[in-house]
Structure 1
Amino acid sequence: MPIIGDLTAKADWIDPDETPRPIVVFGAMMDEVGDIELDLHTHRKGQIILVQRGALSCEVEGGLWVVPPRSAIWIPGGALHSIKASGALEGYNAFIDPRVGAELPATCCALSVTPLLRELLTRAAHLPYLYEEGGPNSRLVSVLLDEVAAAQVEDLHLPMPSDPRLRRIVDEMMANPAERGSLGGWAKRAGMSERTLMRLIDRETGMSFGRWRQQLGVVLAVKWLAAGASIQSVAADLGYESTPSFVTMFRKALGASPGRYMAERHPGGV
């Protein structure tokens, strides 16, 4: 039964790229052991990570994704990525051979998880790595593949610029998101004009400076809420003058208030 208790323990790890099955699934359960970080790495097979409890962030070339409970991230084979998580984490990993996953997205994306997909991952994680081919277990993973392909994409992505000047701004914003400096102030700190900053951020992220900063707030808010922070503390940590103004922004971005959004991602939620 491939359930792994520590993602950082090499003794528990079986390389899915070397496992001669088109789809390999395992579960991961970790208690609150502090921060967990998997450095930049790649897999030949594509990877879907479903989070059941806790939250993780994943940086893939060109972007940062946050995965809250009952959501998942798809990472195509060959994509260089790193993973970070804090505290307790429970979830499932499925590695899918490109030869059977041709219909899956060509780029990294966050996915909404249906109850069927969640149950299929749970069942598949209890199969032997070398499950028999051509029988019921093969049909199970085939249905799993269909559900991954049909999953709806969620907007939990933050484009990450590669320009060194922009990355310095990004690092400062992420370290102190409550600092609501003006466009001119950030441009001056980066040693460029406002026009240059606007042009660079649009070219490298496809967003305006203001839109990118708002998306940063959405991504951080989801991460902190999933870790158990209160709506009030998240609003304050993001520099909002009032909780209602933060709630309004969150609702416009994700279609639900923070409380409802998180309740829908926990057992017994509305």
Structure 2
Amino acid sequence: MPILTDLDASHWMEPDEVPRPIVAFGAEMSDIGGFELDFHRHAKGQLLLVQRGALSCEVEGGLWIVPPGSALWIPGGALHAIRATGALKGYNAFIGFDVAVGLPQACRTVSVTPLLRELLTRAAHLPYLYEEGGANSRLVAVILDELAAARVEDLHLPMPGDARLRKVAEAMMAAPADRATLTGWAARAGMSERTLERLISRETGMSFGRWRQQLAVVLAVKWLADGASIQQVAGDLGYESVPGFVTMFRKALGTSPGRYMAERHAR
């Protein structure tokens, strides 16, 4: 099918209604202020591959960032919302439950190999009701093999369900440059430090400091993918110096911000 551009729905068919094991298409958006899809779900599993720009996706208890060179796997039936803030290019594939049984039962951000990217490109050029059997069935089988073997990336931010803690998390996400201490955030939430620390550990599996660092990492990756400079990102996250931000980023993802993005755009 053709590449969908700027949310053009003229060639759209509801993937769950297409009687094929995989329904794939390309998508390209100019920088028109982004788009947002409110919470919804599909019976089929969904694979979102990003080649340019970045997506953020909230899925039942977590926030996931998808930069260039990565893909997000969303199992069938999972409630999710998607947001993009700028220009975006990539591929989207919906995979039927009957063939996705060997795939993860939880969301994953995964690294995209050149083979997986080319397979999805090929699948996106098939008609909706492509002929099954032969080469097309083998294509689907290899896509599933590549997805099952894809390397998982740590671009996930657990989101708390507790209402008080959710307000704290949302405030921190809205103002990531605010470097208030655990004591300060606890006071704003009307709870003790011990209660805040206990709640965030129970709800996210992380300490307050670890969750805050992961928030900085996922926001940094998203902003860098949207075209922000390293200096801008460091400032927006409240770092007093660029080296301090680079050190944090390197410890979290194993490489510098500049090299991280350069490697992704080279994929």
Question: TM-score scaled by structure 2?
Answer: 0.98
Counterpart Cα distance in 2 of 1:137 and 1:95: 15
Is residue 34–residue 87 contact of structure 2 (8 Å, CA) maintained in 1?
Answer: no
Tell me the C-alpha RMSD between the 2 structures.
Answer: 1.0
Write the deviation string for residues 170-214 of structure 1: whole angstroms up to 9, x where unpaired: 111111100010001000000000000000000000000000000
Pairwise CA distance, 1:13: 2.0
SS at 2:191 equivalent: coil
Aligned to 1:83: 82
Pairwise CA distance, 1:10: 4.0
Is residue 2–residue 129 contact of structure 1 (8 Å, CA) maintained in 2?
Answer: no
SS at 1:178 equivalent: coil
Output the amino acid matched with 2:88.
Answer: L
Counterpart Cα distance in 2 of 1:130 and 1:195: 57
Pairwise CA distance, 1:20: 0.4
Is residue 2–residue 25 contact of structure 1 (8 Å, CA) maintained in 2?
Answer: no
Aligned to 2:3: 3
Counterpart Cα distance in 1 of 2:88 and 2:34: 11
Counterpart Cα distance in 2 of 1:2 and 1:125: 8
Aligned to 2:222: 223
Is residue 6–residue 12 contact of structure 1 (8 Å, CA) maintained in 2?
Answer: no
Q: How does 1:1-40 map onto structure 2 within 5 Å?
A: 1-7=1-7, 9-40=8-39
Counterpart Cα distance in 1 of 2:86 and 2:157: 22
Aligned to 1:61: 60
Is residue 51–residue 69 contact of structure 2 (8 Å, CA) maintained in 1?
Answer: yes
Gaps of 5+ in 2: none
Counterpart Cα distance in 2 of 1:148 and 1:42: 20
Q: Give aligned-pair identity as a percent.
A: 75
Aligned residues: 267
Output the amino acid matched with 1:256.
Answer: T
Aligned to 1:214: 213
Q: How does 1:107-118 map onto structure 2 within 5 Å?
A: 107-118=106-117
Is residue 2–residue 127 contact of structure 1 (8 Å, CA) maintained in 2?
Answer: no
Write the deviation string for residues 73-101 of structure 1: whole angstroms up to 9, x where unpaired: 00000000000001110000111111111
Counterpart Cα distance in 1 of 2:11 and 2:192: 51
Pairwise CA distance, 1:230: 0.5
Counterpart Cα distance in 2 of 1:84 and 1:12: 21
Counterpart Cα distance in 2 of 1:64 and 1:46: 18
SS at 1:177 equivalent: coil
Counterpart Cα distance in 1 of 2:107 and 2:152: 10
Counterpart Cα distance in 2 of 1:2 and 1:22: 19
Write the deviation string for residues 81-124 of structure 1: whole angstroms up to 9, x where unpaired: 00000111000011111111111011011011001001111111
Pairwise CA distance, 1:11: 3.4
Counterpart Cα distance in 1 of 2:222 and 2:63: 12
Aligned to 1:264: 263
Output the amino acid matched with 1:230.
Answer: S
Output the amino acid matched with 2:230.
Answer: I
Aligned to 2:242: 243
Counterpart Cα distance in 2 of 1:11 and 1:198: 50
Counterpart Cα distance in 2 of 1:12 and 1:174: 36
SS at 1:262 equivalent: helix
SS at 2:26 equivalent: strand
SS at 2:180 equivalent: coil
SS at 1:92 equivalent: strand
Aligned to 1:169: 168
Question: TM-score scaled by structure 1?
Answer: 0.97
Counterpart Cα distance in 2 of 1:228 and 1:221: 11
Output the amino acid matched with 1:149.
Answer: A
SS at 2:50 equivalent: strand
Pairwise CA distance, 1:142: 1.4
